Structure 1
Amino acid sequence: MLAPFVGGIYYGSLIAGLSATARGHGRPVIAVQTSSAAADLAIHGGDPAFNSPVAWDHIGGFVVFADAAEPEYLMRTVQSGRPVVLVGHSLEAMDSPTVLADNAAGIREAVEHLVREHGCRRLAFTGDFAATDVRERHEGFMAALREHGLEPGPLLPTENNLESGVTWTVDDFVRQGRPDALVAGTDLNAIGAQRLLARAGLRCPEDYLLTGFDNLDLAGFVKPELASVEQPLQAMSSLAVDLLLRRMRGEENSPETHRLPARFVPRTSCGCTGFALALPTLEMDDERQRLFQRLSAVAPVEFSRSGEVTSAMTRATSLTADGLLAAAAGDTSEVRPAVDALRVLLDAHPGQETLRVICRSIQEYAAALQWDDAPSARRVDRAVLDMVLLLGRVNNHAQLGNQLHLRSLISTSYALSAALLHRRDADPRDPAWLALTPAGAGSIALRGPDGELRCTPGWRRLPGPAIPDGPISVEGFPPVEVIDAAGLEHTTFVVRAKVGDSDRGWLALVDRVENRVEDGRDLVNQCAALLTIALDLRDSEEHLRRAAHRDLLTGLPNRSSFTMSMQAAVEHGRPFVVLFLDLDGFKRVNDTLGHHVGDELLAHVAGRIQHCLRHIDIAARFGGDEFLVLLDGMTAGPELDELIERIQTAISRPYVLSGRTARVGVSIGAAEGGPTATLERILQDADADMYRAKAAGRALRGPVGSK
């Protein structure tokens, strides 16, 4: 499965439906996020940076959601021999089935409602036209206006599909007279528009009517409650899995487009009564059929194609009606089964609005029944009250569960931040920090300087085969052991560990689908982003640490670092010698050839000094054209004299710098160190000995400086 984001209400709901259907077919799911971990939430047409065949070795077929990848990438998937099904978008060049919500029909239903029920004559549209589905919704909007002979009001483009995308002004909205209604391409655009207009004193629905699209849970809680078009998200992804598996089995599967119905949900913002304070009139005499229609109104739109859930609505209707009849006779044993049946509908479309419609539908049904005696009526009233209270308790538990879940996510995010960004004993490369999350297993593939991927040792919560480390191809990531750890109950998520220009590689983890975090900033994205930032911080700290102890020009240790090495040698108690080197003739090179050539010369001198030393010796730049050398375990004698002569000879050879030839000499002083010597005294002795050598115009001879 390819999607711009692997969480959030929209993509998360699609993935939840896909995973559930795939599970029923015994197929594991790999959910690949094509956007980087910290990508802008407004993605259109696919991220050009996503061109990697990640996980292709494990994939038998692709379900591709809208804006997941550019057409060129999708064509590569088809050319690889892996079948593809598109969801939420279409591509004419691809011979692949497409599953779409009927965007145009949903918007047309909203426009029909505004025109016929509320007499609107001038309607405006707002949305992000970079998104293919919003363009389709606008086309349906225009078609509906043409059918009624109406001219469109202002067209108000947004910068993205979120509240922040509404950047047009109130003047744009009322330039040619205030529209009767505003139709938005998404719920979040609608909410952003309503808040912008409210700041200018325009009230909804008193001054204008408003509709959105997507029917987010938020739509029923904002003020005014937002009328919206509901998409059959889970049904879309479920159908996509069915179509893909048919192609994977080699069955004939035409590349036709499958459009599933969307449904307009009226609320306060379109001028209707919100939260089921008054149920719409239904002209029918059969009270059971009326109850069935009421309950059908709260079912998700995809239930219209599901015989199983239609059966659930029929069962809920029958058990509710029979339970009330039994209660009238004094038998309350049927109340609980009726509540359990109604709970199926509430669980399918949880929320305060669904609860109120169900409760008022029960009350309406009970009120329409005729009773011969007052005790029966009282028993029915009591049964209705019990049903309402029990359903309310169910809804409260669900809301409490959501609150606890979000609190848990906040706590987890805090713990992850503390572990990855602040604790120095936790290595970000070791995915054991995933134990702080609900994840079941994980693997990290980091990109080396050569661009090759290498897995760090994997992590798993439960016993099982070890998740291997070592070199891996992008096609082979994640390791098969991660996918096996997911089984069918969980999903394997793959997200690029990329924040801004920092592209570290990939993170794979095993978890359940998250569709309760509205903006898509779910845990897997936080993990990948924090991993990237933590690695960047560690590298920055290492760079600063090195910079604090390194000379930037020559790459040698600086004076501070050299002093620490001397201190360690003193504490170790072994003999050592310090050489103090000062270049002869360096100023002449600087003055005649320029400082940039002088810098180049110093870098060459540093290299020649290191070439003369043993691997245990340390060379450093003292400053300017002066260098220091620490010779571990050495004392005055022929070996030292030979080394000094070798250094002098190496440095005195000609240098070719920027096309010019230059020569310098070097004066070298030496001082022996020991357990009783102070660092300052050793450096003073070596410096003094160097000046004696420079004054004599000779190489170091005779005894070295005192201990």
Structure 2
Amino acid sequence: MGTGGSVGVLAPFVGGTYYGSLVAGTVAAAASHGRPLIAIQTLDAAADLTVSGGNPAFDAPVAWDHIGGYVVFADAVDAGHLRRLGRAGKPVVLVGHTVDGLDRPVVLADNDNGMRAAVTHLIRAHGCSRIAFTGFLEASDIRERYEAYLAVLREHGLTPGPLLPATSNVEVGIEWTADDLLRDGKPDALVAATDRNAIGAQRMLAASGLHCPDDYQLTGFDDLDVAAFVRPELASVAQPLDAMSRLGVDLLVREMRGEAVRRGEHRLPTRFVPRTSCGCTAFAERLPDLPEADPRRRLAARLAGVMVFGSRLDPDATAVLVADALEAGVVVPAAHELQTLLAASPTQETLRVLCRAVQEYAGAAPVDPRGVQDIVMFLGRSYNRLQLGDQLHLRSLISVNYDLSITLLHRRDADPGDPSWLALTPATAGSIALRDRNGDLVRTPGWRRHPGPPIPAGPTTVEAFPPVELLDIAGPTFVVRAKVGDSDRGWLALVDKVENRVDDGRELVNQCAALLTVALDLREQEAQLRWAAQSDRLTGLPNRTSFTAALPAAVGHPGAVLFLDLDGFKKVNDTLGHHAGDELLTRVAARLRQCLRPTDLAARFGGDEFVILLTDSVPGPDQDQLVERLRATISAPYRIGDRTARIGVSIGVADCATGTSAEQLLRDADTAMYRVKAARRVPAAGELVNDRS
């Protein structure tokens, strides 16, 4: 669909635990609308997430020929790029952030209620009265969370604790120290605006001797997968990432169809998830109390608490199914329904809640305890299989990265510009557009795993990349700039599944683009080294080593070796200086190139000596004419600065067809050259240089 009907996604990374979860939602939503999706990474390959407020370096109109509108995630691009999209007539839906002065639909998590729930929990459940805050306040969603934190403290008559600004939303954004936190006394708790800020703060404070939750309590925001696995388990506010990105695509597609879409905020609910870091129960302890007295309503509430946002399961209906199955002594339907919940959120916390919820229900209803035990064991095995699947997946990624590194960085028979190396990855198709010496993009032939129309090579533009043939293949298309540091090679596009089980920036498509860039750099460096080893650095002609390596193939075949020695060069060099002598040699080399055919080989043999290999040449008038043309061309005057230099040349010829070896050919040509030099009158020294012309 190359007529502007595709859904575009702009994200700092197109995979990873956070952005990958968002991208996965857009992929599912676009598929439900029958629209191709192109996810574009706005950070360079192998980049770290260090931008906040949008990447100002990204300004390329990637895939504008194909994309009708964009879902844009936080920190993807700056406001200037968003306005360029608007001027180009491409609607935009923001997800997870706002931009001042941009009147567009915005899908947001309910930051206010989520943060209110976290701070209220610390105050009411744990008696915290002095609570510090850390976060990157330049981001719009972080400011909302900070304002909610302040509002709750005001409502409870509490003075805000230390404000500890972060420099970004990730771990390295925590640049303050334990002394900053303790400057006015030790707070009871620290509220972090993101999970990664919370993890960075916890690590830094632990290194300073402050341990959570014994010395302080801690909460985050986002409820990333890692939150349930760090120690202590991180209390956090769960955002409906999947539902947010799905809604973003729905709003965008409606606008692309010409429907009216409400501008401004579209809020989705958040949920506070208590864990060990805020002082709540650890994994093996009992579930928190609930007000529901009816066992089935309590079971429904427990199940609702672990359902992912946007789940199509109804907690009440699921609770009825599980309860009926338990009371009937038929555990298989109940076990599989609960397994569905576990598969959607495969964490220890989900497993704990499901197992405890079933046991809790069994304690209040006529249920065979053996069935409960069977369900608990079934869920335990299911969880282990899910964890094993993750381990095998990560092992597979390590293996793929190893194979890619060996292929692209070490195998000299593999061409990095040929995307067939993508067969080592799970991708189903790929295309590469590389910059030529003029900076223009040229596509190499594309690759596809399964039979289908070819993906042709040829000149392209960034607006037309990726090629339309890639968009007709089932699955989302990911585009990453092949740029590492100052090396900008072009673009990589591939069709693959979303990778959201590794950290942001470590997904395979990002690594492929990085390895492609490095591999192309290495090939260029190797070519430069080969050129330097085989070429004369002054004249650019092949050097003696390169010429003698090529000569054996000419022995016994029609051709000739010409040995040239410049007459009077030393006078020019001594009179005008070495720089003038170097310029003269360079000019002689240029004249040699003008006289020879593309199939002939000229080289600088050393000093003021040159050699030429004439291919398909036999003794006779044609060869004599070429030798004479060379002599006349080289002997013509040279203007060097404000001086005119005149030199001659002695040329000896050896017939390749009569030679017995390459060494013999060179000796014969050299001997012939000296015979010519002896037979000719070399110009007197005073005739070599015209000092003033």
- Tell me the TM-score normalised to structure 2 length: 0.92
Unmatched segments (≥5 aa) in structure 1: 327-331, 372-378, 701-707
Residue 76 to residue 628, structure 1, CA distance change in 2 (3 Å): same
- Residue in 1 that maps onto 2:442: 454
- Tell which deviates more after alignment, 607-616 or 230-239: 607-616
User: Does 1:199 pair with 2:207?
Assistant: yes
Task: Confirm or deny: 8 A CA contact 1:162 1:189 kept in the other structure.
Answer: yes
1:23 paired with 2:18, answer no
Residues 1:545 and 2:546 aligned together: no
Which residue number in structure 2 is paired with residue 612 of structure 1?
595
Provide closer, same or farther for how the CA distance between residues 626 and 10 of structure 1 changes in structure 2, counting only shifts above 3 A: same
Spell out, residue by residue over 1:560-582, the C-alpha distance to the aligned partner (whole angstroms, 9 max, x if none): 01101221112xx1254333223
Distance 1:620 1:292, change over 3 A: same
Paired residue type of 1:610:
R
| CA deviation map 1:372-429 (0-9, x unaligned) | xxxxxxx621111111111222222211211111111112212222222222332222
Residue of structure 1 in register with 2:690 after alignment: none
Contact 1:420-1:428 at 8 Å conserved across structures: yes
2:332 aligns with one of 330, 336, 346: 336
Distance in 2 separating the partners of 1:167 and 1:688: 76
Kept after mapping to 1: 8 A contact 2:567/2:682: no
User: 1:9 touches 1:520 (CA, 8 Å); kept in 2?
Assistant: no
Q: Using the alignment, how far apart are the partners of 1:559 and 1:158 within structure 2?
A: 62
1:489-508 equivalence runs, <5 A:
490-508=475-493
1:108 corresponds to which of 116, 122, 144: 116
Q: Secondary structure at the match of 1:439?
A: coil
> What CA deviation, in whole Å up to 9, does each residue of 1:510-539 have, x standing for no partner?
111111112331111122222222222222
What one-letter code is carried by the residue in structure 1 that aligns with 2:293? D
Map of 1:139 onto structure 2:
147
> Aligned-pair distance for 1:276?
6.0
**Structure 2 residue aligned with 1:516, among 497, 501, 513?**
501
Between the aligned partners of 1:25 and 1:670, the Cα distance in structure 2 is: 76
- Map 1:267-282 onto structure 2 (within 5 A): 267-275=275-283, 277-282=285-290
* Residues 249 and 681 (structure 1), Cα distance of their counterparts in 2 relative to 1, 3 Å cut: closer
- Higher mean Cα deviation, 151-160 or 536-545? 151-160
When structure 1 is superposed on structure 2, of 598-607 and 641-650 the one drifting more is 641-650
State whether residues 25 and 245 of structure 2, in contact with CA within 8 Å, keep that contact through their aligned partners in structure 1: yes
* Aligned twin of 2:687: none
Unpaired runs of at least 5, structure 2: 1-8, 684-693
Matches within 5 A, 1:59-138: 59-138=67-146
Tell me by how many angstroms 1:220 deviates: 1.2
Structure 1 residues 57, 638: closer, same or farther in 2, change over 3 A?
closer
How many Å separate the matches in 2 of 1:289 and 1:456? Answer: 61
Deviations 1:619-663 (A, max 9, x none): 101122221122334455554443333222212222233454433
Among candidates 333, 341, 346, match of residue 345 of structure 1: 341
Could you tell me how far apart the structure 2 residues matched to 1:10 and 1:37 are?
Answer: 17
Output the amino acid matched with 2:549. M
Partner of 1:425: 413
State the Cα deviation string for residues 478-506 of structure 1 (Å, max 9, x = none). 222211112xxx21111112222222221
Distance, in Å, in 2 between the alignment partners of 1:65 and 1:459 is 30
Change in Cα spacing, 1:463 to 1:574, as seen in structure 2 (3 Å) is closer
1:393 is aligned to 2:381: yes
Which residue is 1:42 aligned to?
50
Change (3 A) 1:325 1:630: closer
Amino acid at match of 2:272: F
SS of the equivalent of 1:566 reads helix
In the alignment, which residue of structure 1 is the partner of 2:393? 405
**Partners of 2:482 and 2:570 in 1: how far apart?**
50
Q: Against the structure 1 CA distance between its residues 586 and 405, is the aligned structure 2 distance closer, same or farther, given a 3 Å change threshold? A: same
CA distance 1:122–1:650, shift in 2 (3 Å):
same
CA positional deviation for 1:131: 4.1
2:363 aligned counterpart, secondary structure: helix
Structure 1: which amino acid aligns with 2:216? Y
1:472-483 matches, within 5 Å, as 472-483=460-471
Superposition map of 1:345-384 within 5 A: 345-369=341-365, 380-384=368-372
Alpha-carbon separation, structure 2, partners of 1:643 and 1:322 = 101
State the Cα distance separating 1:293 from its structure 2 match: 1.4
Structure 1 match to 2:662: 679
Summarize the Cα distance change of 1:125–1:613 in structure 2 as closer, same or farther, 3 Å threshold: same
**8 Å CA contact 1:98, 1:257 repeated in 2:** yes
2:304 is matched with which residue: 277, 282, 296? 296
Distance 1:171 1:585 in 2: 79
2 CA distance for matches of 1:221 and 1:34? 29
Q: Quick one: which of 237, 245, 248 aligns to 2:253?
A: 245
Q: Residue in 2 aligned with 1:705?
A: none
Please tell me whether the aligned partners of residues 557 and 657 of structure 2 are also in contact (alpha carbons under 8 angstroms): yes
Kindly indicate whether the alpha-carbon contact (under 8 Å) linking 2:20 and 2:504 is maintained by their aligned counterparts in 1: no
Q: By how many angstroms is 1:692 displaced?
A: 5.0
Q: Which residue of 1 aligns with 2:326?
A: 324
- The farther-off stretch of 25-34 and 339-348 is 339-348
Distance 1:642 1:517 in 2: 71
> CA contact under 8 A between 2:326 and 2:334: conserved in structure 1?
no
Does structure 1 residue 600 correspond to structure 2 residue 583?
Answer: yes
Task: Measure the CA separation in 2 of the matches of 1:426 and 1:216.
Answer: 39
Q: For residues 92 and 545 of structure 2, what CA distance do their matches in structure 1 show? A: 61
Matches within 5 A, 1:122-201: 122-201=130-209
1:604 aligned partner, one-letter code: R
Q: Does 87-96 or 207-216 show the bigger shift?
A: 87-96
1:26 partner SS: coil
Secondary structure of the residue aligned to 2:58 is coil
Conservation of the 8 A alpha-carbon contact between 2:72 and 2:92:
yes
Q: Which amino acid aligns with 1:476?
A: A
Identical-residue share of aligned pairs (%)? 63
Aligned length: 675
**Aligned 1:556-705 pairs, distance under 5 A:** 556-570=541-555, 573-634=556-617, 638-658=621-641, 660-674=643-657, 676-691=659-674, 693-694=676-677, 698=681
- Select between 398-407 and 662-671 the one with higher mean Cα deviation: 662-671
Shift of 1:602: 1.6
Once the two structures are overlaid, the 10-residue window that deviates more, 280-289 or 81-90, is: 280-289
CA distance in 2, matches of 1:245, 1:414: 40
Cα drift, residue 455 of structure 1? 1.8
Local SS of the residue matching 2:472: helix
Question: Which digits, 9 at most, give the CA deviation of each residue in 1:449-491, with x for residues without a partner?
Answer: 22222222122222222222222222222222211112xxx21
- Greater Cα shift, 584-593 or 203-212: 584-593
Q: CA RMSD in A?
A: 2.3
Q: Write the letter of the residue equivalent to 2:628.
A: E
Give the equivalent residue in structure 2 for 1:329: none
Residues 146-169 of structure 1: CA deviation (Å, up to 9, x unaligned)? 333433333334444333443333
Question: In the alignment, residue 637 of structure 2 is paired with which amino acid?
Answer: P
Higher mean C-alpha displacement, 257-266 vs 146-155: 146-155
Q: Distance in 1 between matches of 2:36 and 2:599?
A: 55
The answer to whether the 8 A contact 1:64-1:87 is kept is yes
Give the AA of the match of 1:652: S
Contact kept? 1:9, 1:216, Cα under 8 Å: yes
**CA 414–670 in structure 1, closer or farther in 2 if over 3 Å, else same:** same
TM-superposed CA distance for 1:88, in Å, is 1.1
Change (3 A) 1:92 1:188: closer
Change (3 A) 1:407 1:121: same
- Provide closer, same or farther for how the CA distance between residues 591 and 360 of structure 1 changes in structure 2, counting only shifts above 3 A: same
